[in-house]
Amino acid sequence: MPGITVADQILTGVVACWHAKQLGGAAAKIGDLRRKHEIAPPRTDGPDEFIRALRAQQNCLEFGVTFEIVLWLAGIFGHQVPAAVLGAIFVYSREQYFNGYIQDAEKRIKPFWMGIRALKGLFAVAILGLVNTALVHYAGINVPNMIKDKLF
């Protein structure tokens, strides 16, 4: 089995950088709202706009670790293209979630579920890639090649 090259993960890396920028932007927005509403840390109470933004940022952080893990597992063991596409959908949905939540709590729901579906897709790509890699490595069975041989 050939090794993974840097070029095999360019798209995955671009999505990971976009995600890091997004998390930094959310933190900056919280800082802006703290100054706007004169809310000194460690306080977490204040106007609804601030509380919704803080909750949205925390939710993005909570999902961030899971996202990064399955993004990279999907890219490495699956393939960078589906990993990057699903990752981009997730990051886009988180942007919509964050901005929508600040405006009105109800506006977070649709993008939240879009992100969950993308995360489930990443998880599926990661698991299928891990299973195939294990089968190739330990049993000499390559399921995608078997399917391709049957179809063509």
Residues involved in catalysis: 35, 108
- Report the residue count for the chain: 152
The region, left, alpha or beta by phi > 0 then psi within -120 to 50, assigned to residue 15 is alpha
Amino acid at 137: H
Helices 143-151 and 109-139 meet at what angle, rounded to 10?
90
Cβ 115 vs Cβ 108: under 8 Å: no
CB 57 within 8 A of CB 49: no
Question: Please, how many CA atoms are within 13 Å of residue 93, restricted to the half-sphere of its CB?
Answer: 21
Euclidean distance between CA atoms 123 and 14, whole angstroms: 19
